[in-house]
Amino acid sequence: DVKVTQSSRYLVKRTGEKVFLECVQDMDHENMFWYRQDPGLGLRLIYFSYDVKMKEKGDIPEGYSVSREKKERFSLILESASTNQTSMYLCASSMSGPVHGYTFGSGTRLTVV
């Protein structure tokens, strides 16, 4: 069964900490995405990547960075966690091209205190 695996289901971090969220896919997908999902705001794209070492900003990149050193792994980094970054973080991957939908990971519920 093909999978997108996110390293943690729940995380609690303190304000100001550097936080790493990891995502690994085993489908050899070219595209990988990080979204956050908040009640009433829907899915908002943070960053995405079309290839190894390539990254592009999404709609809300402020306060975040990403790393894609290998095709299967896409990491989201919160440089200095703040309480307004408390959210559900969803990683997704897809094949290259316009006709493919996403496979999502199970999500990481991050709470910043």
Partner 1 sequence: QKEVEQNSGPLSVPEGAIASLNCTYSDRGSQSFFWYRQYSGKSPELIMSIYSNGDKEDGRFTAQLNKASQYVSLLIRDSQPSDSATYLCAVNPPRGNAGKSTFGDGTTLTVKP
Residues near partner 1 (CB under 8 A): 30-31, 33, 40-43, 45, 48, 50, 56, 90, 94-107
Q: Which is nearer to partner 1, 45 or 77 (CB)?
A: 45
Give the integer Cα–Cα distance in Å for 17 and 112.
9
- Please state, in angstroms and rounded to a whole number, the distance separating the CA atoms of residues 54 and 16: 27
Closest approach, Cβ 51 to partner 1, in A, equals 11
Ranges assigned E (strand) in 39-107: 42-49, 56-57, 64-70, 73-78, 87-94, 103-104
Nearer to partner 1, 41 or 113 (CB): 41
Question: Whole-number minimum distance, CB 101 to partner 1, in Å?
Answer: 4
Residue 48 or 85 with smaller CB distance to partner 1: 48
Q: Is 87 helix (H, G, I), strand (E, B) or coil?
A: strand
User: What are the residues whose beta carbons fall under 8 Å from the beta carbon of 95, sequence distance 6 or more?
Assistant: 27, 29, 30, 31
Residue 47 CB, nearest approach to partner 1 (Å): 11
The minimum distance between CB 98 and partner 1, in angstroms, equals 4
